[in-house]
């Protein structure tokens, strides 16, 4: 299984700091957000980790990979670069996934992880569920506990483990269960990204593809254990950064 980490955005809501440092490389607790994700992936049976980034921050990601290898990374890791230099020319997550599929030759089951994910659990439960379910498309979800938080996130409706609906940042959330931006897909889903894009659908947030996919195939949810944060704003980043600086995590 290949694991694709999406790092191609420009994180305009975190400017000015993201004018100089890509969001996945922002530090928390003394190391970049991306380190936490990859350290977790080291514990899995993944064949290859692919990082999809943009041209503006190519050198920073190349340096990070070189440094990570020097510190003992054992997994095979590749960097695929979208030819974009600013937010106005960005691909968007779904187009970025399709680009990475084409450039790196993903052909088997694969996992997609948003590079701004910050969690202290593991993706192992999702990979295990994926296998036990007969390789059903699987989304990691997290109970956020309040409607106020739910309005800021992508929210799923579930019937047991089956996802029945999805809304991106709903004004009136139907649940408080959020997609964490971690997806496990069987290889049969690979051509569906191109099908989605050819239909002139929104190429940006992965949630739009998820909503479309629910209408086309069976998609399951598995709870992401531990704490989880969507590092989408300066407020959230500052809060999580402060928790670690204070030694509360």
Residue 166 maps to a domain = no
User: What's residue 247's pLDDT?
Assistant: 63
Residue 149 maps to a domain = no
User: What's residue 1's pLDDT?
Assistant: 94
User: What's residue 246's pLDDT?
Assistant: 66
Strands (E), the chain: 2-7, 27-28, 31-32, 48-54, 76-82, 110-114, 117-119, 137-143, 154-159, 162-168, 177-185, 219-223, 228-230
Residue 148 maps to a domain = no
Residue 171 maps to a domain = no
Q: What is the pLDDT of residues 96-128, one digit of tens each?
A: 999 999 999 999 999 999 998 898 889 999 999
Residue 184 maps to a domain = yes
Residue 92 maps to a domain = yes
Q: Which of 109, 107, 105, 133 is nearest to 186 (CA)?
A: 109
Residue 173 maps to a domain = no
How many structural domains compose the chain? 1
Strands (E), 137-176: 137-143, 154-159, 162-168
CATH of the domain at 34: 3.90.550.10
User: What's residue 248's pLDDT?
Assistant: 56
Residue ranges, the chain, pLDDT below 50: none
Rounded CA separation 124/131 (Å) = 11
The pair of structure tokens assigned to 152 is: 């800021």
Determine the structural domain holding residue 83 and report its residue range: 2-141+179-245
pTM, entire model: 0.95
Residue 136 maps to a domain = yes
């Amino acid at each position: 299984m290949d694991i694709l980490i999406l790092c191609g955005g420009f994180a305009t809501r975190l400017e000015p700091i993201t004018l100089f440092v890509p969001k996945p490389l922002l530090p928390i607790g003394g190391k970049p957000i991306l380190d936490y994700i990859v350290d977790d992936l080291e514990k899995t049976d993944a064949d290859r980790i692919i990082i999809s980034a943009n041209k503006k921050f190519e050198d920073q990601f190349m340096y990070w990979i070189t440094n990570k290898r020097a510190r003992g990374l054992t997994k095979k890791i590749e960097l695929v670069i979208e030819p974009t230099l600013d937010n106005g020319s960005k691909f968007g997550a779904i187009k970025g996934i399709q680009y990475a599929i084409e450039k790196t030759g993903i052909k088997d089951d694969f996992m997609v992880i948003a590079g701004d994910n910050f969690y202290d659990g593991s993706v192992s439960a999702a990979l295990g569920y994926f296998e036990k379910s007969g390789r059903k498309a699987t989304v990691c979800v997290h109970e956020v506990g309040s409607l106020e938080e739910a309005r800021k996130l992508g929210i799923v409706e579930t019937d047991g483990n089956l996802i029945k609906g999805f809304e991106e940042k709903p004004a009136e959330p139907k649940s408080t269960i959020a997609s964490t931006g971690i997806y496990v897909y069987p290889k049969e889903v690979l051509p569906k990204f191109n099908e989605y894009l050819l239909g002139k659908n929104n190429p940006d947030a992965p949630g739009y593809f998820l909503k479309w996919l629910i209408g086309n195939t069976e998609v399951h949810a598995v709870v992401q254990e531990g704490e989880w944060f969507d590092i989408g704003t300066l407020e959230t980043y500052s809060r999580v950064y402060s928790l670690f600086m204070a030694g509360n995590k």
